[in-house]
Chain A
Amino acid sequence: MNAAEMDIARRLNGMPVSPGIAVGEAHIIERGMPDAPEYCVTEAYLEDERLRFLRAIDQSRQQLDHVHAHLKESAEKDQDAHQYKQELVYILDAHRLILEDAMFQKGVLGHISEHRCNAEWAVKRYLGEVIAVFQNMEDAYLREKRRDIEQIGQRILHNLMGNRYNAFAAFPNPVILVAEDFTPADTLLMDHEAVLGFVTEAGGSTSHTAILARALGIPAVVAVPHVTEQVRSGDRIVLDGISGTLHLSPDDEEQAGFDARRKQYHASRAALLEIGGAGVETPDGRRVGLKANIDFQADVVRAAELGVDGIGLFRTENLYMNRSRLPSEEELVELFTNLVETMEGKPVTIRTLDIGGDKQSEIFLQRLSHNPSNPALGLRGLRLCLKSERAAFFTQLRAILRAGAGGDVQIMFPMVTRLAELKEALLLLDEAKKSLRLEEVPFVDNPQVGIMIEVPSAALCADQLAPYADFFSIGANDLTQFTLAVDRGDESVAELYSPVDPSVLRLIRMTIQAGDMHHTPIAVCGEMAGDPRYAVLLMGLGIDELSVTPERLPLIRKTICGVEYRQAVDLARTAMEMVSAEEITDHLDRFLKAAFGSAHRLY
């Protein structure tokens, strides 16, 4: 291996889902039962083993009591994660109950006597039998509950062996958590103040980990292949949530470099947040709408404070994930009304349910009649809503219409692939209005209704869709993935993924041309809009509006205000003549560097 190859080996790439840089010790969250000594003991020591087991139970219970108290206290303080934490208090109660369960204790004690073995072995044997029962359960949801048994087993075993069991407890030092995937229970039973960042093998930008990390303002990188095999607990690692890279065993010099970068990130973030103020216009007078993409209610307040033209994308998937039942219409109305009121008259675009693909919900998953062989191309987004989840979709439509009585709401349908789908969705919307009218419930009669352009078929037929849509919003992530046939979570092809590939740009240009012809405004709401290089290019192509995550707002505002529109148009024209994503990226980099200096991309 030469030096360059060594360097690559010490770096792992994934998908950045929450920005920031973390430098610290890795801590692996394990799956299954830990290794434990297994041996037989003589009759004389059996009583010792029984007592050891009962002491471990006692110790485990005290630990859970401690976390319980901590959680209850923090749930009251932290509104955003309140729902999760409430859910966790229930899980904790169940874990405590299992520890105290007479059948469980009798089972383990019985194994000690019967097999004359040490307590660890007895716990593993007994819980192994229990887990086997769970694994054979028919119901997928119940089968998953073996995780609860595993977590209890891990805790008892670690207590027996005198190890510090960190999975739920306070960490002695702040750590970067690494796991195959985090369940809500994994992430939320931890002391958040001691978590520097998250790294997972699984997941997408809307995974539980991603959402939680963003809510907590902690950097996270997901979809890092085999990371749990390559990192060990205690390793010093660097997590770069901006580029999506994980650096293993950085030397002192590198670490100092990252420390500096981290400080710079925080400083530039603080400086950008101070810019604020509404009105985004290029120096030569072209106005570009700047809106916020929102996952969490708390983000809305932040976006409103930062001054935006509205919410360009409110994702509703989170309302259906990590919970056991569908939200009721009243619940949705309350939430949407709250959004609309917080924005004080500015438009709020609510996207209807976009479940499926990489965003799964336990509720919908178990209602599917079959396992999709390729979820990205399966029953998802609007298709799912029109086919098997019409009732949930109808409820959403009614809730959005009702919230519209109190402010400016817009409705956006995701994953539209053909005109017939849009027409069918519009018919359902009419039905929803009719039902509300009959019930004499106040609602907005004529909201703007638009669609996501995120599938090549929609971009190619944008001119046919435009007469039926009040606006287009280009979802660049999916559009890129489908156009290039690249899953960016797959490391073997991830480098082929680029939203500025000539093919993707042509589809974007087609959409803009179709929109212009029918006077349909066009927004871009994917991650692409939040990258200053791409933002300038999109502006030059004629996009009317950019919608970005709140963190990106100040940076994109600064970018738009700092580039002349005619320069952007020139830039786009040259870019459209280029033949590769690399060439175009270089071109954009050079432009931005000339306009703002090299520090601009750092954020």
Chain B
Amino acid sequence: MKVKRKAVICNRLGMHTRAASMFAMASSRFESKIGIRKGKVKADGKSIMDVMMLAAAKGDTVTISAEGGDAKEALETLCKLVEARFNEGRKAP
């Protein structure tokens, strides 16, 4: 199964190191292949380097895609993470 959805990067700092690392870690928990695309640039969602190099800043729209057995669940989780602003600052008061 292959699913995809658009999401807007809404955390203040964009896909910085920590956000990218959370995204890659979350992606890696799923079997499915994860992609994240900004404009024409496409990145492997499980690679922190690739995600960082996407340079997705606040306000950018990205398309997240998942392909595999747990694709639906993966997409749900990852979109939620983006929407929750990567819990920016929550754990570090």
Give chain A's interface residues, CB within 8 Å of chain B. Answer: 83, 86-87, 90-91, 93-94, 97-98, 101-104, 130, 133-134, 137-139, 141-142, 145, 148, 323-325, 331, 363
Main secondary structure of the interface of A (DSSP, over half): helix
Q: How long is the Cα–Cα vector from A363 to B89 in the complex, in angstroms?
A: 13
Which of B11, B55, B88, B91 contacts A86 (CB under 8 A)?
A: B91
Residues of B within 8 A of A324 (CB): 11-13, 16, 88-89
Main secondary structure of the interface of B (DSSP, over half): loop
Q: How long is the Cα–Cα vector from A285 to B48 in the complex, in angstroms?
A: 68
Binary flags per residue of B1-23, CB closer than 8 Å to A gives 1, else 0: 00000000001111111101100
Contact check, B53 vs A134: say whether CB atoms are below 8 A apart: yes
How close is A164's CB to chain B, nearest CB, in angstroms?
25
Residues of B within 8 A of A83 (CB): 92-93
Contact check, B53 vs A363: say whether CB atoms are below 8 A apart: no
Residues of B within 8 A of A104 (CB): 47, 49
Which residue of the partner chain A has the closest CB to B18?
A90
Give chain B's interface residues, CB within 8 Å of chain A. Answer: 11-18, 20-21, 24-25, 44, 46-50, 52-53, 55, 57-58, 88-89, 91-93
Residues of A within 8 A of B47 (CB): 101-104
From B15, B20, B52, name the one whose CB has the most chain A CB atoms within 10 angstroms. B52
Residues of B within 8 A of A141 (CB): 13-14, 16, 57
From A83, A91, A137, name the one whose CB has the most chain B CB atoms within 10 angstroms. A137
**Using a Cβ cutoff of 8 Å, how many contacts connect chains A and B?**
79
Q: How long is the Cα–Cα vector from A363 to B91 in the complex, in angstroms?
A: 18
Residues of B within 8 A of A148 (CB): 17
How close is B25's CB to chain A, nearest CB, in angstroms?
7
Contact check, B55 vs A94: say whether CB atoms are below 8 A apart: no
Residues of B within 8 A of A134 (CB): 52-53, 55
Residues of A within 8 A of B16 (CB): 141-142, 145, 324
Q: How long is the Cα–Cα vector from A571 to B26 in the complex, in angstroms?
A: 69
Residues of A within 8 A of B12 (CB): 324-325, 363
Contact check, B48 vs A86: say whether CB atoms are below 8 A apart: no
Which of B11, B14, B21, B93 contacts A94 (CB under 8 A)?
A: B21
Contact check, A94 vs B20: say whether CB atoms are below 8 A apart: yes
Which of A93, A98, A331 contacts B49 (CB under 8 A)?
A: A98
Residues of A within 8 A of B92 (CB): 83, 86-87, 90, 323
Residues of B within 8 A of A94 (CB): 17-18, 20-21, 48
Residues of B within 8 A of A86 (CB): 91-92
From B15, B18, B25, name the one whose CB has the most chain A CB atoms within 10 angstroms. B18
Contact check, B57 vs A138: say whether CB atoms are below 8 A apart: yes
Residues of A within 8 A of B13 (CB): 141-142, 324
How close is A49's CB to chain B, nearest CB, in angstroms?
21
Additional pairs, 13, CB under 8 Å, beyond known A139-B55, A325-B89, A331-B93: A90-B18, A91-B18, A94-B17, A94-B20, A94-B21, A94-B48, A101-B47, A102-B47, A104-B49, A139-B58, A142-B57, A323-B92, A324-B89
